[in-house]
Amino acid sequence: MKVTPVSEILGAEVTGIDLSGTLGSETKAALREAFLTYQVLVIRDQTLSPAQQVAFSKIWGDLEIPANIQHTTEESQNVMILSNEIRPDGTAVGVVDGGDFWHSDSSHVAVPSMITILQSVRNPDRGGDTEFCNMYAVYAALPQDLKQKIEGQYGIHHVSKTVNKRVTISPDRPGAKDFYEAQAAARAQVIQPLVLVHPETGRKALYCSPRFTVGIKGMSEEQADPILDELFAYVTDRKRPYHYRHKYRANDLVLWDNRCLCHRAVGGYGLPDIRRMHRTVVGGDRAYADQAAS
């Protein structure tokens, strides 16, 4: 197994390993160490069946059951399909346009996702990259006064796009507006520490995102907005100094650490060009905050 960084700021490519079989404890330990060091692993040349992807994913912890049961594979309900493919009857094969704004997966629930794993099953001819932002590096780069303002504070997170003025709803996703409106009413907001101490590395990372963080606990909108805007500017910065953009090769399996990264789907592809990813998620093992949101 060979581990090679893919950028100066985050991410490493892993070659010379076949994830379809049983992995030895030394290999697993080496993978975990590389993962904690680089935050994103790009494991090349994998063609895992859904069951094999599930077996590999379980090495890292317990899996989340996808909420979107109609978009899972036939072979395994633990594997969700991300795809822009539309069946002749107008229904979507997978989740269309997932992750189009910067976020960390499931930060809108009390126990957020730990690790997300995508296997590229079909890549479009152009577009379809995933972009990552190193939130350890962002935290380290914050000016001292901003660090002081957010230390010990909690971001308010909500899943619905309709309660978030910083995002828009994709026109390509069938029924999206109704879906988000129902979510706005049905789902609660949760709080998360703005500065997260990574449970395994002990390093501090900024933990908030334009997609899910809609306020700061105990602050009015007028107080919170300038702080959030300043924080989000590091993540959405056009110069992208803390970022790595992954362009998928055939058969890449990519895993990332939601505790210290934000990510987004860049898009830039469209039918008849098809992108298909198989997604598994290792659930969190703890809540980061233990207080109620309001």
The footprint of Mn ion (CB under 5 A) covers 99, 105
Nearer to ligand OGA, 131 or 230 (CB): 131
Return d(Cα 267, Cα 288) in angstroms, integer: 31
Cis-peptide, bond into residue 272, ω within 30° of zero: yes
Q: For residues 261 and 130, what is the distance between their CA atoms, to the nearest angstrom? A: 12
100 binds, among ligand OGA, Mn ion, none (CB under 5 to 8 A by kind): none
Q: How far is the CB of 4 from ligand OGA (least distance, A)?
A: 22
Structure tokens, 160 = 């619905």
User: To the nearest whole angstrom, how small is the minimum distance from the Cβ of residue 119 to ligand OGA?
Assistant: 11
Give the residue closest to ligand OGA by C-beta. 99
Coil/strand/helix, residue 222: helix
Q: Which does 283 bind (CB under 5 to 8 A by kind): ligand OGA, Mn ion, none?
A: none
To ligand OGA, the closest distance from the beta carbon of 25 in angstroms equals 29
279 binds, among Mn ion, ligand OGA, none (CB under 5 to 8 A by kind): ligand OGA
Q: Please name the helix (run of DSSP H) or strand (run of DSSP E) that holds residue 66, with its range, or none.
A: none
Which partner from the list Mn ion, ligand OGA, none does 265 bind, CB cut-off 5 to 8 Å by kind? ligand OGA
Per DSSP, the three-state class of 244 is: strand
Whichever of 61 and 153 has its CB closer to ligand OGA, that residue is 61
Give the amino acid at 64: E
Contacts of 198 (CB under 8 A, 6+ apart): 136, 204, 205, 259, 260
Cβ 106 to Mn ion, closest distance in Å?
8
